[in-house]
């Protein structure tokens, strides 16, 4: 319908929890695991989703709730290959999904399976010295990259000036708050136990900023000292707004590689639609097959959601699918009843007249509203039997 391209596939995972008791069946997919919704107290399932850069869904899989991200990619590769055949595809993923073993299999496949993935921060530390001496290349306004070839792979260090300003402002705000809080705690008269609790609460609220401050608590006293670690601060400033990618697309333009990775937001948008607009949660089902049916219906709704968005793009790009559905929700079907003199009822089913905005949307989307239904008439009402009394 839309000439969508399936050269690039975006792959990511999310979890959804349940308002139900843990199942007794050991083979049930509802399990405790890492919750992206911060609900580790609830059982959950993991949902793997594969979409195109335009957001068109290709496949999804419901996995046990305790499935590790790094154990899902091999199955997804096999599923897409079995369903759509072998082809030159580019898989774009976030860090934590591929393992070194699976990436090696992708490079050795026939034809080779291309990938572009994020990397953990530890790998950036290992390659930092090699990257420091390389020149920056502009791929678009406000975005620069450095390229570091390594055997069969290419490492891409990207920096976004807008992201640098955003992360730097967030870090300064948290660090300023934490510094002021530590001063407040230092001026309080506390027992050692109370001191440790308040320091723990401050650390939990500003973990990233806590790493930049050296805090030393006296071993036998309710006192502590703190100082800014300038070496860690300099290292953090160098990494703000930067992320390291790795790929086996060594011949691709850096601008294309960066654009591929940025498109991962489409998967995040899909998960947001599933959980918010399409109301994937709450799930109260107690049987596994009903859970999977619930997710399947939500997936079908997402397919329709994406279709509507694609139709809106050339016609009304300023409107979201949610805004269109909200406007159309005001159209109602009414039954108007007219009693007749012979005891019957004439029923006219009519939808409400469209307002100016609704008419414009219908015209832009090239929708044809159905004709008003023909009138219906009911049978005459039965007359109630008259009571007969007999005098004895």
State residue 259's pLDDT score. Answer: 83
Structural element, H or E, at residue 174? helix 161-186
**69: region left, alpha or beta (phi > 0 left; psi from -120 to 50 alpha):** alpha
Query: What is the tens place of the pLDDT at every residue in 331-369?
Result: 888 888 999 888 899 998 888 888 888 888 888 888 888
List the structure tokens of 104.
């090696």
**Angle ∠(280,282,287) on CA atoms, nearest 5:** 90
**DSSP conformation class of 339:** E
- pLDDT computed for residue 187 by the predictor: 92
pLDDT attached to residue 228: 94
Among candidate residues 100, 45, 102, 53, the one with its CA nearest the CA of residue 73: 102
- Whether the CB-CB separation of 321 and 56 falls below 8 Å is answered with no
369 to 122, 152, 308, 373: CA distances (angstroms): 58, 57, 17, 11
65-123: pLDDT as tens digits? 999 988 899 888 888 888 877 777 889 998 888 888 998 888 888 778 899 998 887 78
Residues of the chain with pLDDT under 50: 387-390, 392
Please give the model's pTM, rounded to 2 decimal places: 0.73
Q: pLDDT at position 278, please?
A: 74
The answer to whether 88 and 2 have CB atoms below 8 angstroms apart is no
Query: What per-residue confidence (pLDDT) applies to 217?
Result: 92
- Specify the pLDDT at position 392: 42
Starting at the earlier edge strand, list the strands of the sheet with 44-51.
Answer: 57-64, 44-51, 8-17, 90-93, 114-118, 242-247, 153-160, 143-150, 137-140
The dihedral through the CA atoms of 53, 59, 65, 67 has a sign that is: negative
User: In the structure encoding, which two tokens stand for residue 57, read together?
Assistant: 């869904």
Contact 347, 337 (CB under 8 A): yes
Tokens 């607009």 -> residue? 277
CA distance 195 to 185: 7
The per-residue pLDDT for 383 is 58
DSSP string, 227-295: EE-HHHHHHHHHHTTEEEEEES-TTS-HHHHHHHHHTTHHHHHHHHIIIIIT--------SHHHHHHHH
Tell me what pLDDT residue 179 has.
96
The per-type count for the chain, helices as H runs and strands as E runs, is 12, 14
């Amino acid at each position: 319908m839309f000439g969508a391209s399936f050269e690039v596939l975006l792959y990511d995972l999310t979890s959804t929890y349940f308002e139900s008791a843990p199942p007794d069946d050991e083979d049930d997919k509802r399990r405790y695991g890492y919750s992206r919704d911060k609900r580790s107290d609830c059982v959950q399932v993991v949902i793997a989703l594969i979409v195109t850069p335009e957001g068109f869904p290709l496949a999804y899989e419901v996995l046990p709730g305790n499935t590790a991200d790094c154990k899902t990619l091999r199955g997804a590769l096999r599923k897409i290959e079995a369903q759509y055949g072998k082809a030159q595809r580019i898989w774009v993923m976030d860090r934590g999904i591929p393992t070194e073993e699976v990436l090696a299999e992708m490079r050795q496949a026939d034809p080779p399976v291309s990938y572009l993935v994020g990397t953990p921060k530890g790998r950036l530390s290992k390659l930092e010295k090699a990257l420091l001496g390389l020149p920056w290349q502009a791929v678009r306004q406000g975005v620069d990259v450095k390229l570091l070839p390594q055997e069969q792979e290419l490492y891409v260090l990207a920096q976004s000036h807008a992201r640098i300003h955003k992360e730097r402002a967030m870090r300064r705000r948290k660090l300023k708050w934490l510094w002021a809080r530590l001063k407040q705690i230092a001026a309080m008269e506390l027992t050692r136990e109370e001191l440790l609790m308040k320091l723990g609460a401050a650390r939990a609220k500003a973990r990233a900023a806590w790493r930049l401050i050296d805090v030393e608590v006296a071993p036998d006293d309710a006192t502590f000292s703190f100082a800014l670690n300038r070496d860690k601060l300099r290292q953090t400033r160098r990494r703000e707004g930067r992320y390291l990618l790795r790929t086996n697309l060594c011949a691709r333009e850096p601008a294309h590689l960066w654009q591929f990775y940025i498109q991962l937001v489409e998967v995040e948008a899909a998960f947001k639609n599933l959980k918010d607009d399409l109301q994937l949660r709450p799930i109260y089902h107690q049987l596994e097959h009903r859970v999977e049916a619930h997710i399947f219906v939500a997936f079908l709704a997402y397919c329709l959601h994406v279709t509507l968005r694609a139709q809106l793009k050339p016609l009304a790009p300023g409107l979201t699918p949610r805004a269109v559905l909200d406007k159309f929700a005001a159209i109602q079907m009414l039954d108007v009843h007219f009693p007749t003199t012979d005891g019957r009822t004439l029923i006219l089913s009519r939808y409400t007249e469209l307002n100016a905005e609704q008419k414009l949307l219908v015209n832009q989307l090239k929708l044809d509203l159905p004709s008003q239904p023909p009138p219906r008439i009911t049978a005459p009402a039965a007359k109630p039997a008259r009571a007969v009394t007999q005098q004895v």
